Amino acid sequence: MTPTNATNPFFSPSTLPYGLPPFAEIREEHYPPAFERGMAEELAEAQAVAANEDPPTYENTIEALERSGTLLRRVSQVFFNQASSDTNPEVQEIEAGISTRLAAHRDAIHLDPALYGRIRALYDTRHELGLDAESLRLLERYHTRFERAGARLPEAGRQRLRELNAEIAAASTTFEQNLFADTKSAALVLDSADELAGLSPGAITAAAENGRALGQDGKYVLSLKNFSNQQELAALDRRDVRERLLAASLGRGLSGPASNRELVVKLATLRAERAALLGHDSHAAYIVADQTAGTTEAVTEMLTRLVPPAVANAEREAAALAAASGLDEIAAWDWAYWSEKVRRAEYDIDSAAMRPYFELDRVLKDGVFHAAGLLYGLSFTERPDLTGYHPDVRVFEVFEEDGSPLGLYLGDFHARASKRGGAWMNNLVDQSGLFGERPVVVNNLNIAEPAPGEPTLLTFDEVSTLFHEFGHALHGLFSDVRYPFFSGTAVPRDFVEYPSQVNEMWTVWPEILANYARHHETGDPMPQELVDRMEAADRFGQGFRTVEYLAATLLDWAWHTIPAGADPGDAEAFEAAALKKAGVALPAIPPRYRSTYFAHIFSHGYSAGYYSYIWSEVLDADTVEWFKENGGLRRENGDTFRRELLSKGGSVDSLTAFEAFRGRAPRIEPLLARRGLTG
């Protein structure tokens, strides 16, 4: 039954605190009519702007466009969060149909000559309009958005662009759904607990619980995470089981009904054709032109500089692992296992023994929230009276130091069959002065659900991930802009990871770590000597981690620097050749993501942008130095970082904001030192 106006919760603004979507009322059948009405309303609003017979003004053109599409924005933010975090066959069917409809909808607006003509007329006289800085930037960004969307193309070009956008949208959605299905089906099913020797008792119990949840009673199931090297590889004693687990991970998307082998080639070639149509040498050139990097040459220069020292570092690590293991050669499924052995022997670090000190609720409240309180004056109150989109979701109200309300933070921390892998942040409500809206943000992680009654104990990597994703959440919560166009994380892709990476520094800041790293049973703090050894051990393995990341980055770069008309050939052969050419084809270190399960670049908006993590880390490492130079965890430092960077969103040029904060341009040396690439 089609929902009526009265029964579709998207047809009117939410009346809940902060405009929190009314998840208790939302059903899958509400999405299609809300999308249809939302697109129709926004298109009518845009057409009214284009048809306005009055001369174009900032108010009747740019601000009118910024006020449009409120219903579509409401439903999109809720739907695409659910499609990632709590999907089902009905949601997937809607997603497959709506992706091409949305692409066509965007084209209908961006390729309207009359609408572009009004924007262009204002742009050409922008310095005569007396606009404030944020309004001037909004006008400039609308002009850039329309031009990059193809507004200046002749009609034949616009028609081909519409076709390309529809094909790319459909292929990206299929890629994501194939990956979801293949990752689920590729889970490693084991017959006995003996095969899991080396894992902690809790992890073995969790594998049995996972088996039951997936309909494999009596079996032990290791579900796969997004990336290549699975966490269990560091602990599994049986070499044959490690080999099987890594093979399952590396083989995703290469064959079978959920293969992405042909799709990655299709997406790369379609994107190359679109870039050429828009006047660029490659998709990478098109993407980077609107990022802080500016040119493909700048990105290539950075990556080229990093590869040789990273590979040399990794080769030294490989030699140490071979000596420790007695193996003639370390295989890919041996690396994490023997690396953990060396860490234990040289640094007396046992990753499994550290987990009792990292209980989820304590890490969240006494670590993540505590750091935000000391640095920014924030406080958090859990709101069990407010409903999330899944029973696992927790809702927290966030307050300023003076007790005034700031926004809502939703935490969705556990893995489940209906959630895609990885970790991410979404906005559910964008902060904006234009609409008087405060932010509502959500963090998603994929922490294994413990057995009933057992605590959720994290690995150190999961602790770092929680701090990282909360850095994105702060970027959204601290947004202080007029226009939703600029809200929160609406910054260049190669800048968006920067604030989140900075927030990771508090993970091991002594005052913070001492507050949350306490044994979940005894309450005893983690011994300082263990903390010191943990930090020293973290430096061991930087070669592996850097090469693993660079290999994925260079794969992304290879796929997206092909020119229009080029034939990449078979996906697996292209991948092997690209890694060899880039100097990172190390058999023992597979890329963090292989092409057929590289969701970042083929379905999540990071195409030609995976370099962003290390580009942002240059800014991050430089900023960590600033904090240390200025006394570290001080309210004054938090206020400065918030005022100059986190509050600005996209309302100012990102590198200009960084330089205003740092007092100079960024330097790469702190990053090289952090990753052990200086000598």
Indicate if the pLDDT at residue 352 is higher than 90: no
Q: Kindly give, in sequence order, each residue whose CB lies less than 8 Å from that of residue 30, ignoring residues fewer than 6 positions away.
A: 3, 8, 9, 10
pLDDT of residue 350: 79
pLDDT of residue 679: 60
Mean pLDDT in residue range 179-191: 95
pLDDT of residue 277: 98
DSSP 569: -
Q: Kindly give, in sequence order, each residue whose CB lies less than 8 Å from that of residue 576, ignoring residues fewer than 6 positions away.
A: 585
Mean pLDDT in residue range 592-598: 97
What is the end-to-end Cα distance of the chain in Å, rounded?
Answer: 67
Q: Which of 455, 371, 375, 372 is nearest to 413 (CA)?
A: 455
pTM comes to: 0.92
Mean pLDDT in residue range 394-414: 98
Q: Which of 317, 469, 548, 575 is catalytic?
A: 469
Residues of the chain with pLDDT > 70, as a percent, come to: 99
Name the architecture of domain 355-539.
Answer: Orthogonal Bundle (1.10)
Span 286-320, pLDDT tens digits = 999 999 999 999 999 999 999 999 999 999 999 99
- Tokens representing 273 are 């054709």
**Helical residues (DSSP H) of 365-518, grouped into ranges:** 369-376, 460-477, 493-503, 510-516
Strand order in the sheet with 440-447: 379-382, 394-399, 405-414, 440-447, 424-429
- Tokens representing 479 are 């947004």
pLDDT of residue 421: 86
Q: Which of 441, 451, 348, 335 is nearest to 395 (CA)?
A: 441
pLDDT of residue 186: 96
412: phi > 0 → left, psi -120 to 50 → alpha, else beta; which? beta
Q: Write out the E strands in 215-274.
A: 220-222
Q: What is the average pLDDT value for the chain, to the nearest integer?
A: 95
Identify whether the C-beta of residue 456 lies closer than 8 Å to the C-beta of residue 450: yes
Q: Which of 292, 283, 275 is nearest to 493 (CA)?
A: 292
Identify whether the C-beta of residue 379 lies closer than 8 Å to the C-beta of residue 399: yes
CA distance 36 to 435: 23
CA distance 446 to 421: 6
Indicate if the pLDDT at residue 654 is higher than 80: yes
Cα distances (angstroms) measured from residue 123 to each of 58, 128, 204, 289, 543 = 10, 10, 62, 19, 48
Is 59 among the catalytic positions? Answer: no
Q: Kindly give, in sequence order, each residue whose CB lies less than 8 Å from that of residue 583, ignoring residues fewer than 6 positions away.
A: 307, 308, 311
The band of 1, judged by pLDDT with boundaries at 50, 70 and 90, is: very low
Q: Which CATH number fits domain 261-347+541-674: 3.40.50.10490, 1.10.1370.10, 3.20.20.70, 1.20.1600.10?
A: 1.10.1370.10
Residue appearing with tokens 């040399």: 312
Indicate if the pLDDT at residue 5 is higher than 60: no
Q: Kindly give, in sequence order, each residue whose CB lies less than 8 Å from that of residue 114, ignoring residues fewer than 6 positions away.
A: 50, 51
Measure CA 217 to chain center: 34
* 9-152 is a CATH 3.40.50.880 domain: no
CA distance 387 to 396: 11
The band of 4, judged by pLDDT with boundaries at 50, 70 and 90, is: low
The rounded radius of gyration (Å) of the Cα atoms in the chain is 25
**How many Cα neighbours within 13 Å face the side chain of 631?**
7
- Among 208-217, 364-373, 435-444, 483-492, the range scoring the smallest mean pLDDT is 208-217
Instruction: Name the residue with higher pLDDT: 5 or 444.
Output: 444
Indicate if the pLDDT at residue 464 is higher than 90: yes
The band of 6, judged by pLDDT with boundaries at 50, 70 and 90, is: low
Indicate if the pLDDT at residue 380 is higher than 60: yes
Amino acid at 259: S
Indicate if the pLDDT at residue 141 is higher than 50: yes
CA distance 333 to 486: 44
| Domain segments of the chain as ranges | 9-152, 186-250, 261-347+541-674, 355-539
Return the number of other C-beta atoms located less than 10 Å from residue 15's C-beta.
Answer: 8
CA distance 12 to 546: 48
Span 11-47, pLDDT tens digits = 999 999 999 999 999 999 999 999 999 999 999 999 9
